[in-house]
Amino acid sequence: SQTIHQWPATLVQPVGSPLSLECTVEGTSNPNLYWYRQAAGRGLQLLFYSVGIGQISSEVPQNLSASRPQDRQFILSSKKLLLSDSGFYLCAWSVGRSGANVLTFGAGSRLTVL
């Protein structure tokens, strides 16, 4: 069966520090991978998605970036965090992108920027 791992679960970072969140998927090949952010009281905002190694689509211009160095690995990074980067970050995967393809989420990473 397929599983998705995301870490770290919780982190507190000072403004201006770097960030690296990692996500890996097991039990499937060539998954579609996504990074979402959920701010308090707001819906899930799609940040990045990837349909293959090295292929990244950015949804929102910001100081975050994403990389996919391996088929089942998706990394969210920042060189300098802002206060507004605080939130709940969720990695997700799907087999395909259309129709009934379900997004399955990782457990999430709660980031607090102070």
Residues of this chain that bind other proteins (CB under 8 A): 36, 41-44, 46, 49, 57, 59, 90, 97-100, 102-108, 110
Q: Least distance (Å) from other proteins to the CB of residue 28?
A: 16
- Local structure of 107: helix, strand or coil: coil
Q: Least distance (Å) from other proteins to the CB of residue 59?
A: 8
Q: Least distance (Å) from other proteins to the CB of residue 32?
A: 9
Instruction: Give the integer Cα–Cα distance in Å for 53 and 39.
Output: 28
Nearer to other proteins, 38 or 77 (CB): 38
Nearer to other proteins, 22 or 110 (CB): 110
Instruction: Give the integer Cα–Cα distance in Å for 103 and 111.
Output: 22
Long-range contacts of the stretch 96-104 (C-beta < 8 A, 24+): 96/32, 97/32, 97/51, 101/32, 103/34, 104/2, 104/4
Q: Least distance (Å) from other proteins to the CB of residue 57?
A: 8
Nearer to other proteins, 62 or 79 (CB): 62
